[in-house]
Structure 1
Amino acid sequence: MTTDGFVFVHGGQHDARCWQPTLDALQRLTDLPALAVNLPGRNGEPGNLGTLTIAQCAESVCRQIADHQLSGRLTLVGHSMAGISLPAIAALLGEQRLHSLVFMSCCIPEEGRSIIDSLDPPMSIISRLAARHLATMRPMPGLFAKWVFGNGMTAAQKRYLVQTLCREATSITSEAVSRRNMPACPRHWIMLEQDRALSPARQKSYIDNLGGVDSIESLNCCHDAMIAEPELVAATLVKLTAAPATNTPG
C-alpha cells in the first residue's frame, strides 16, 4: 500500500520554506497530505536555538504532526542535518505510524558520534569552529551558500535559497547521536550526485552508518535538490512510496 502522507524535515540553516517547491510539485502528482515542519527556534516555531537538543527537535515535529491531524502510516523525508533528527522522530512516532523513511543526502554519524565528527572540509571546519565559539551560527554568506548548496540552480532558485536561510543551533552539531531505538520500517536513500556539501563518497559512508537501506535512488542534483529539481524529487518520492511497506530489520 502507498503511504498515507508525507512529513518533510529540513536540514541545517534551513526551515520549512526550503520544501515549498517540492510540496507544490508533489501536490500536482498526488492528493496525499504533506507537511513541512520547522524545527524549534526558526520561522516562528518555539524553541531556543542556543540550547537546542535532538530530543527537542523530535518532540516538536511530533507535536506538529498531531496539531495538523495527520493520520495513518507516514513517510518521513529528511534532508542533510535531518539525518540526526529523523531516527529520533521515528522512535517517538513508533513503528505502527511509519510507512517508510527517506534520507536525502543526510548526515548520519557513526553510532555515538556527532555531526562534526563526520563531515568533510569545508563543512567540517565551519561546523567545528562554530560549535567551539558560538551558541548559534548565522546563515552562510550568500555566495558560499550558492556554491555549496545551489550549484546548477537557476538565478531565481539561488535567490530563493539565500532568502530562506536562517540561523542554526551549534549544540546539536556536537551532540552524540543514537539510533538504537529507531523502529523497523523501510529505509530509502536519495543520493545527490552533484552535492558539494556532502559528497557522494561521504553519502555512501553515511549509508553504511545507517544500515538497513532498502533502496538507493541517484539524482544528478546539487545539495538543495528540493529547490533545484522539485519535480524530480517529488516524482522520486511518489515512486518510492508506491511500493508496499514491509518492515525491515534495523
Structure 2
Amino acid sequence: MALPGLVLVHGGGYAGDCWDPTVAELRRQEPALDVLAIDLPGRRSRPGDLRTVTFADWVDSAVRDVDAAGLDQIVLAGHSLAGLTIPGMAAKLGAARVRELVFAAASVPPAGATVTDTIGGIAGVLARRRRGVVGPGVTPRWFARYSYTNGMTRAQRRLALERLYPESARAFHEPVYRTGMPDDVPRTWILTTRDRALSPKCQRAGIAALGGVQKLIEMDTCHNLMISEPTRLAEILIERCRLHPR
C-alpha cells in the first residue's frame, strides 16, 4: 500500500530538527513512509529576515520545499505556531494533494485576530511585552523549560532546550486569516492535556476557530509532544497516513 508523504512543520522558536525523535520513530515503524521536516525562513537551512517575514513567506517557503521533494500527495502536520502555516499551505497545494491536516497542540486564532490576542498565561504576558518589537528573539530558556518540557526526561529536556532558534516577534502580532483553506480536507487535532504553553482550553478555542475537526486525539503530555512522546506521536501520524492510500 503506497502512502502519502508526511510533511512536518515546526512551531515558533524551533526548526525542523525539533522533530528528530519523532522522525526516527516514523522511520522505525514505517520505513516506506516519505517524511519531510521543513525549516521555515530565518533558521538553519532557510535564509530569511526575521524582522520582516510574514505568514505568507512561511507558506510560500514550505510549499516550495514540498514541491522540491516531489511529494504529490501529503498528510500535513503542524505543531504550535504552525497552526498559522498549514492552513495556508493547504490553500496553496489544494485538496487534491493535501489529504489531511493534523494540528498538534496548535495555535489557531479566530480569523482577523492575532496569536497575542488569544494566548494566556506566561506566554501571553511575554508576547504582549514584545508588541511593537521588530527584531527577532530567542525564547528564554526558563520559559521554554517551564512551558514546553514539563514531564520530560532529562535527555528530552536537554534536546528541547538546545534546539531553540531565534523567532520573529512580528509573527505574534500579525492578523490571521485562513482564506482558501479547503473545507473538504479532513482535520485532526492532537490535544496535549498537560500543556503549559497552550492550555487545553486555548486549544479547544482553536478547534472552534477552525470550525471543528473530524478527529480529536488527547495525549497526556506537555507542549513539545514530538520530543516527549515520539513513539505515540509516530503511531498517530502513521495511522493518519494509512487512511489515505494512494
Q: Same fold (TM over 0.5)?
A: yes
Partner of 2:115: 115
User: 1:223 aligns to what SS in structure 2?
Assistant: coil
The Cα of 1:216 is off from its aligned counterpart by 0.2
- 1:193–1:222 CA contact under 8 A, matched in 2: yes
Name the count of aligned residue pairs: 243
Partner of 2:36: 35
Distance 2:225 2:134 in 1: 29
User: 1:96 aligns to what SS in structure 2?
Assistant: coil
Distance 1:97 1:122 in 2: 38
Partner of 2:178: 179
Distance 2:79 2:3 in 1: 19
Distance 1:64 1:140 in 2: 29
User: 1:152 aligns to what SS in structure 2?
Assistant: coil
Distance 1:10 1:194 in 2: 19
The Cα of 1:106 is off from its aligned counterpart by 0.4
The Cα of 1:198 is off from its aligned counterpart by 0.5
User: 1:40 aligns to what SS in structure 2?
Assistant: coil
- 1:108–1:115 CA contact under 8 A, matched in 2: yes
Partner of 1:100: 100
Matched, 1:168 2:172: no
Where do 5+ consecutive residues of structure 1 fail to align? 246-250
> What percent identity do the matched residue pairs reach?
36
Amino acid at match of 1:163: E
Partner of 1:209: 209
Amino acid at match of 1:224: N
Distance 1:2 1:99 in 2: 13
Where do 5+ consecutive residues of structure 2 fail to align? none
Partner of 2:64: 63
Amino acid at match of 2:180: N
User: 2:132 aligns to what SS in structure 1?
Assistant: helix
User: 2:42 aligns to what SS in structure 1?
Assistant: coil
Distance 1:223 1:126 in 2: 17
Distance 1:3 1:203 in 2: 29
Partner of 1:52: 53
The Cα of 1:240 is off from its aligned counterpart by 2.5
- 2:191–2:200 CA contact under 8 A, matched in 1: yes
Matched, 1:155 2:145: no
**What is the RMSD of the two structures over their aligned residues, measured on CA atoms?**
1.4
Partner of 2:222: 222
User: 1:111 aligns to what SS in structure 2?
Assistant: coil
- 1:13-59 Cα offsets, whole Å, 9 max, x none, are 11101101100001111111000001100012011111010000000
Distance 1:234 1:28 in 2: 9
User: 2:121 aligns to what SS in structure 1?
Assistant: coil
Partner of 2:129: 129
Distance 1:117 1:39 in 2: 23
Partner of 1:248: none
The Cα of 1:134 is off from its aligned counterpart by 4.1
- 1:35-88 Cα offsets, whole Å, 9 max, x none, are 0001100012011111010000000001111222222x2011000000111111
